[in-house]
Amino acid sequence: MPDLLIELLSEEIPARMQRKASLDLEKLFTEGISELGLTYESSAAFSTPRRLTLALENVSNKSLSSVEEKRGPRKDAPEKAIQGFLKNTGLEISQLEVRQEKKGEFYFANIRTEGRNAADIISLVLEKTVRNFPWPKSMRWGESSLKWVRPLHSLICILYDEDDSKVVEMDIEGISSGDKTFGHRFM
């Protein structure tokens, strides 16, 4: 199972905001991927004056497939109710199952959702996390609609295991993910 490294590099984050920001990044991101079915073994968040970093160990390669069962209208319900249920589930009448219950015969739909690739889930959740980050004060710069505590300069998002490492492709307001970071600004 691969490990994940995320680094958000910006201009100086005020000292009073750094620790809470690293904890917020960890909480928002890990809850987001867990809701979408991705698992991990452990996580650790770090902060410096210019960076927020998150490391996750043993991230699953994809989310699990799932089957959701929905109960529909009675078999003798008006045609409009049955058609509404079919539209909602995306199935056809022949794909529904009819079951006898105490109150009569009802239609049931089994909706199968295939597991999604880890990189797709990570890019979706990370973009949502960055765009909705709970800074006490944030700013916009240039023509960007992104609000961040200070201008965001780079984004690293790498999935790696013993054999291979790959950049999780994403773009947030013209900032593309990569695999290179920057050292001290003046050295």
Please provide the size of the chain in residues: 187
pLDDT in tens, 39-90: 999 999 999 999 999 999 999 988 888 788 888 898 888 999 999 999 888 8
pLDDT in tens, 128-157: 999 999 999 888 888 888 888 999 999 999
pTM for this model (two decimals)? 0.76
The residue among 125, 133, 183, 174 whose CA lies nearest residue 153 is 174
CB 154 within 8 A of CB 16: no
